[in-house]
Chains A and B, each alone.
Chain A
Amino acid sequence: MQFEVKEEELELLSDKAIYWRKHRMLIVADLHIGKAAHFRKYGIQVPSLVERNNLWRLSGLILKKKPKKILFLGDLSHSEKNAAWDEFADFCQNLPEVELILVKGNHDIIRPINFLRAKIEVVDECLLGPFLFTHDRVDSKHYNFHGHIHPAVILRGRGRQSLRVPCFFFSTQFAVLPSFGDFTGSFVLNPKKGDAVFYPGEREVIRVF
Chain B
Amino acid sequence: MIDLSVAEAWFNSRGWRAFAFQKEAWTACIQRKSGLLNAPTGSGKTYALFAGVVMEYLQNAGSAKRKGLKLIWVTPIRALTKDIRNACEEFCQEIELDWKVAVRTGDTTPSERTKQRKEPPDVLITTPESIHLLIASKNYQRYFSTVRFIVADEWHELMGSKRAVLLELALSRLKTISKPCIWGISATIGNMQQAMEVLFGEDYEKGRLRFIESNIKKRIEIIPIIPEEVENYPWAGHLGVKLAEGVLPIIKKSKTTLIFTNTRAQAEIWYQHLLAIMPDLAGLMAMHHGSISSELRDWVEDALHKGVLKCVVCTSSLDLGVDFRPVETIIQIGSPKGVSRFVQRAGRSGHAPGEKSVIYFLPTNALQLIECAALKSAVENNDLEDRMPYIRSFDVLVQYLMTLAVSDGFQPKEILPEIRSTFSFKSISDEEWAWALNFITKGGSSLEAYDEFSKVEILAGGLFKVNNRGVAMRHRLSIGAIVSDAMLVVKFQTGGYLGSIEEWFVSRLSPGDTFWFAGRPLELVRVKEMTVHVKISKKQKGAVPSWQGGRMPLSSMLSENLRLQIGKIAGNQFYSKELQAVRPIANTQQELSIIPKHSELLIEKWTSREGCHIFIYPFEGRFVHEGMASLIAYRLSLFKSLSFSIAVNDYGFELLSDQDIPIENGLDSDIFSIEHLSEDIAASLNQSEMARRRFRDISGISGLVFKGFPGKYQKDKHLQSSAQLFFDVFRDYEPMNLLFKQAFSEVMEFQIEEVRLRQALRRIAGQKICVTYPEKPTPFCFPILVERLREKMSTEKLEDRIKKMTAQLEM
A residues adjacent to B (C-beta < 8 A): 35-50, 53, 78-79, 82-84, 86-87, 107, 153-163, 165, 182-185, 190-193, 197, 199, 201-204, 206, 208-209
Contacts and interface: CB of A to CB of B under 8 A. Distances in A.
A202 to B, nearest CB: 7
Nearest to A155: B805
Contacts of A183: 721, 725, 729
A192 B807 CA distance: 10
B719 interface: yes
Given A49-B733, A158-B658, A206-B803, A83 B452 contact: yes
Contacts of B804: 157-158, 161
B31 interface: no
Leading 4 A-B pairs by shortest Cβ distance:
A43-B455, A83-B450, A159-B611, A158-B658
Nearest to B455: A43
A31 to B, nearest CB: 15
Nearest to B719: A42
A48 B790 CA distance: 34
A191 to B, nearest CB: 5
B809 A182 contact: no
Contacts of A37: 450-452
Contacts of A184: 725
B610 A158 contact: yes
A184 to B, nearest CB: 8
Interface string B726-764: 101110111001000000000000000000000000000
6 contacts: A43-B468, A47-B446, A161-B804, A185-B721, A206-B799, A206-B802
A156 B610 contact: no
Nearest to A184: B725
A47 B810 contact: no
B807 A185 contact: no
B802 A208 contact: yes
Interface stretch (B66-74, B211-219, B437-445): B437-445
A40 B452 contact: yes
B655 to A, nearest CB: 9
B729 A161 contact: no
B808 interface: yes
Contacts of A41: 452-454
A165 B802 contact: yes
A165 B468 CA distance: 38
Nearest to A157: B805
Given A42-B470, A182-B728, 15 more contacts: A37-B450, A40-B443, A43-B455, A45-B439, A45-B455, A47-B733, A53-B733, A78-B718, A86-B450, A157-B805, A159-B644, A161-B805, A182-B729, A191-B810, A192-B810
A3 to B, nearest CB: 16
B5 interface: no
Looking at A157, A185, A197, which has the most chain B CB atoms within 10 Å of its CB?
A: A157
Interface string B633-645: 0000000000111
B283 to A, nearest CB: 45
A157 B443 contact: no
Contacts of A43: 443, 453-455, 468, 471, 474, 703
Contacts of B657: 159
Given A155-B807, A191-B809, A192-B810, A48 B454 contact: no
A16 B803 CA distance: 18
Contacts, number: 164
Contact of A47 (B444, B644, B721, B790): B444
B798 interface: yes
B704 interface: yes
A37 B452 CA distance: 7
B210 interface: no
Contacts of A192: 809-810
B155 to A, nearest CB: 33
Interface residues of B, number: 58
Contact of A159 (B450, B451, B610, B730): B610
B790 to A, nearest CB: 6
B524 interface: no
A47 B807 contact: no
B808 A154 contact: yes
Nearest to B722: A185
B235 to A, nearest CB: 20
Contacts of A197: 807
B364 to A, nearest CB: 24
B643 A159 contact: yes
Contacts of A36: 729
B451 A83 contact: yes
Contacts of A155: 802, 805-808
B806 A209 contact: yes
A76 to B, nearest CB: 14
Contacts of B730: 47
A201 B798 contact: yes
A79 B718 contact: yes
Contact of B729 (A50, A78, A153): A50
The interface centre, meaning the residue of A45, A48, A206 with most chain B CB atoms within 10 A of its CB, is: A45
A39 B704 CA distance: 9
B780 interface: no
Contacts of B446: 47-49
Nearest to A39: B719
A13 to B, nearest CB: 15
Contacts of A49: 446, 733-734
A162 B689 CA distance: 13
B273 interface: no
Given A83-B451, A157-B658, A163 B734 contact: no
A42 B455 CA distance: 7
A201 B444 contact: no
Interface in B771-811: 790, 792, 798-799, 801-810
A35 B807 CA distance: 30
Contact of A161 (B704, B716, B721, B801): B801
B793 to A, nearest CB: 11
A170 to B, nearest CB: 12
A202 B799 contact: yes
B423 interface: no
Interface in B82-106: none
B21 interface: no
B152 interface: no
Contacts of A203: 799
Interface in B420-475: 439, 443-446, 448, 450-455, 468, 470-471, 474
Given A191-B809, A208-B807, A157 B733 contact: no
B517 interface: no
Nearest to A44: B704
Given A42-B719, A45-B444, A50-B729, A159 B658 contact: yes
B451 A48 contact: yes
B706 interface: yes
Contacts of B792: 161-162
Contacts of B439: 45
B807 A153 contact: yes
Contact of A158 (B611, B734, B737): B611
